[in-house]
Amino acid sequence: MRRSALGVLVAWASLSVVLALTTVGPTANWGLFDGGGDLDVYRKGSWHVLSGLPLYDFPVDKKLFYTYTPFSAVVFTPLELLPAEPDRHFWLALNLVVLTAVVVQSWRLLGYRVDRRLVGVSVLVALGCVFLEPVRTTLFFGQINLILMLLILCDAVGAGRSGSRFAGIGTGLAAGIKLTPLYFVAYFLTLRQRRVAVTAVATFAATVVVGLVLLPRDSLTYWTGTFLRSERIGDRLGHPSNQSLRGMLARLLHDDPPIWLWLALAVPVAVASLALAVWLYRTGERLLSVTVVGLSSAVVSPFSWSHHWVWVVPLFVWLVHRALASWRWWLAPAALFVVLGSWPFWFRNLPDPRIGFYLFPYTYVPEVLLRNAYVWLFAVLLIGLAMPAVRSLVRAKSAADS
């Protein structure tokens, strides 16, 4: 890596950290070290398990219900060993390490060899992503999104190796904690990586069995309908923080959209995304392939908080990779940094700021664009990548006809 590029990354990482720490001060209750709300839910869920209390019958922390699987509550039980006050700081530190590991795995999917220099660059890129709203919000709430993404990326790396026996376990474990990663089973199947898909499904099934054995009552409650109740998430479908296709429909209709309408749009988007991901994989773009699937999983999910969009991190790595080859590409990660930054806005009648452009007043930008910013970002990415894919298929067909 040239010194000039390294200098850009150092400056970028420094700017990102400074903005993440200072744009929202601790007095606003939204400082980076003042969160941990979701971590509290994880801990309270594990406390219910250890205390023999029902997991899904009533809120576990304030007004928040436990929405993850019974297996996840078992996995979270070690969190009870953490001291009550500093636990958010331990979890924040762990998430930063995981974020760096995500960047390292992204480089591996691009064909880079892991060494000390690459790890150092990965630290800089990881710090450069801290100010991205999905990442900062994940760090602030103490979410588990980065860990789940890392498990899936490890499988994506392992799936590219012939004879890897462990590929698929990470995705199965991630799905055992939170159901959304099951979407990647379809991805592995479309790539004809049947062994990885079977391993993921078998691992997921094992997590269900563990939950049934250790928490039979809670498992029965969860798997007989609780996991389908989206209202337990804690907000209405049309809330701007629901950056999914269904959330977009709810905002456009000013009401919860009918299931058939959501499926009529979500299924074609999922199919198109998987088809594009296969084409990208076959053209050597392994990182971009799995990234498209990760982003599309947030789009087609019934409810996707903005912090579920941490899959912008591998996209950021891919853009930096392209920028290292051509300076013109630096504009792309710069634009992503600006559009997805954790910029705060204080409304006069609210004590706390709103973080991210999609929550800003839509005085100068149409509401339909601003409130659905993440969905539009995915649409632009999907169309931009589909155009060369279609041209390639047309050329191949013309050559075959000739």
On the CB side of 8, how many CA atoms lie within 13 Å of its CA? 13
Short-list 135, 147, 141, CA closest to 175 = 147
pLDDT in tens, the chain (402 residues): 677 788 889 999 999 999 998 888 666 677 888 888 889 899 988 888 888 888 888 888 777 888 899 999 999 998 888 887 788 889 999 999 999 999 999 999 999 999 999 999 999 999 999 999 999 999 999 999 999 999 999 999 988 765 578 899 999 999 999 999 999 999 999 999 999 999 999 999 999 999 999 999 999 988 987 777 666 665 678 889 999 999 999 999 988 899 999 999 999 999 999 999 999 999 999 999 999 999 999 999 988 999 999 999 999 999 999 998 888 889 999 999 999 999 998 887 777 788 999 999 888 788 899 999 999 999 999 999 998 888 877 777 776 666
How far, in Å, CA of 246 to CA of 238, rounded? 8
- Domain span including residue 13: 3-401
Short-list 132, 146, 129, CA closest to 342 = 132
The CA-based diameter of the chain, rounded to the nearest angstrom, is: 72
pTM: 0.93
How far, in Å, CA of 152 to CA of 331, rounded? 29
Alpha-carbon distances of 139 from 262, 270, 375, rounded to whole Å: 30, 28, 22
Number of domains in the chain: 1
